[in-house]
Homo-oligomer: A and B are copies of this chain.
Amino acid sequence: MDYQNILDRVHAAVKPVIGSGIVASYIPELAKVPADQFGIAIVDLAGNVYRAGAADTPFSIQSISKLFALALAFYREGDSIWTRVGREPSGNPFNSLVQLEQERGKPRNPFINAGALVITDMLLTHYADDGGAGNALIKFIRKLADNNDISYDRAVAASEQGTAHRNAAMANFMKSFGNLNNSVNEVIETYCRNCAIAMSCVDLARAVTFLANHGVVPWSDETIVDASSAKRLNALMLTCGTYDAAGDFAFRVGLPAKSGVGGGIVALIPGECGICVWSPALEASGNSYAGSLALEMLTSISGRSVF
């Protein structure tokens, strides 16, 4: 498969719509990001990197951090995590409290904010004596992306915390149901830091290759999760990874994917490669507009999808 050719065709095709949509504005620091940017990268299992557009520009990964936090918690705790968080699509906006109330404080899945707060709480407990959950996640991501310069953006993290009332509402709510062991403040602070991690398309495409490779990092042969778990994480991405548009996304794109309101979307083709696209302007559901279209074209042109 000639990935470079595909990326070039996709890049040319989406050019007219780059910048269409709305840049996330509820986090002031994110609102400053210019809308008309676009990058896409593929890293295959042999380690070859393919790029188009601003594929090396770091951006705020936001909810994509939920995927790595989940992988790290799953790696450390195994299937016991499912007693505290479900694995069903939510059918509601990513920060809804209604569902959380109906389900007595157990979030529907680890990719909605409530679920990610529970995962963060697990990591906080696990890494309490080891530099903290934030450090552990950064180290984990650096290893996956093979890039020690990855860090979080302090301005974004601060900006995030200033508007974290909805998340604090959910954290307190889960605490009232006994589904949070650490303090609400610690959980929120760590969560905000994780969302503020900055990575490029190339970093992210590389960081998910282990999910396309039966759980094994291709260039280091390190096993992150076993083959069955890797499949399961992919299944979760497909059913829950793109907010409440997951059904539509599976329908149009057909690949496991996780998006963030920074405009990034990671995806992967099992057995082949990791993919990341980025363009800051979002559609109503919170996924990158040009990014979603780019992935749809990529699967149309390549004929690849999991289905």
Residue numbers of A with Cβ under 8 A of B are 86-92, 96-102, 108-109, 163, 165-166, 168-173, 175-176, 184, 227-228, 230-232, 234-236, 238-240, 244-248, 250-252, 254, 256, 270, 300, 303, 305-307
Contacts and interface: CB of A to CB of B under 8 A. Distances in A.
Nearest to A252: B232
A97 B173 contact: yes
Contact of A248 (B88, B168, B170): B88
Contacts of A248: 87-88
Main secondary structure of the interface of A (DSSP, over half): helix
A101 B173 CA distance: 13
Contacts of A307: 230-232, 234-235, 238, 256, 270, 306
A89 B169 contact: no
A264 B134 CA distance: 46
Contacts of A306: 270, 306-307
B184 A173 contact: no
A98 B175 CA distance: 17
Contact of A228 (B171, B238, B300): B300
Given A89-B89, A230-B307, A270-B307, 10 more contacts: A87-B247, A91-B91, A97-B97, A98-B101, A108-B247, A165-B175, A165-B176, A169-B169, A239-B247, A256-B307
